[in-house]
Structure 1
Amino acid sequence: MTIRQQVLVLYLATSALDSDVVGWSAYDGTGRTSPTTGDGDEPPYRSGVHALEDGWRLFQAAQLIPPYPGREYDVSFLKHEFFFERLVETETGSGAGELRRGRLRSAP
């Protein structure tokens, strides 16, 4: 068995970890799937707390930087970005797991 990392990036509506997911990306280090970005589909979790409850480990959250005076309503990047990881055992030399909707499924 080999250990591989899966990374889940959740963009939340606010800086609170229990706020709604508004965007996401998933990266599967098992090599089983290619990177995916959430565009119009249902997010893998409703909030960051739900990802924690499913075994993901939070390892980075965006800095909270206040807007400059007069720029409070400017549209920009998604600023409430949270990085999660999960370590997964795979068959030696191949990707044996896949990331689908926040769940690890065994390869056929």
Structure 2
Amino acid sequence: MRQQVLVLYLADSSLDSHVVGWSRYDGTGRTSPTTGDSDEPPYESGVAALRDGWRLFQAAQLIPPYPGHEYDVSFLKHEFFFERIVDASAP
């Protein structure tokens, strides 16, 4: 058994908002995060990933911006980590 991790960056803090960025990590070694991904996100939202069997195990802290910095550009704030356990011997 091996772990697969899916990181979804959502438009806002709501798990049903749309995906704006993503990364995948495959503990089975079958895929690489830098190969095979398309320009289309793997799911439309975090809820769609849950419906497909991914388990949410971490969400980014909601930290309000400092006064005067509400419109600064920075990292993607709404980061959600999902996992699923798969049989590494299955094709």
Q: Is the 8 A contact 1:27 1:36 kept in 2?
A: no
Q: Is the 8 A contact 1:10 1:48 kept in 2?
A: yes
For 1:20 and 1:67, the matched residues in 2 are separated by 22
Q: Percent identity of the aligned residues? A: 83
Q: Could you tell me which residue of structure 1 aligns to residue 6 of structure 2?
A: 8
Higher relative contact order (CA 8 A, sep 6+): 2
For 1:7 and 1:86, the matched residues in 2 are separated by 7
Question: What SS is found at the alignment partner of 1:90?
Answer: coil
Larger-Rg structure: 1
Q: Is the 8 A contact 1:8 1:85 kept in 2?
A: yes
Stretches (4+) displaced over 6 A: none
Q: Which residue, out of 14, 19, 22, partners 2:20?
A: 22
Q: Could you tell me which residue of structure 2 aligns to residue 103 of structure 1?
A: none
- Gaps of at least 5 residues in structure 1 are 97-105
- Gaps of at least 5 residues in structure 2 are none
Question: What SS is found at the alignment partner of 1:49?
Answer: helix
Kindly state the Cα deviation for residue 40 of structure 1 after the two structures are TM-superposed.
7.0
Alpha-carbon spacing, 1:40–1:74, altered in 2? closer, same or farther (3 Å): farther
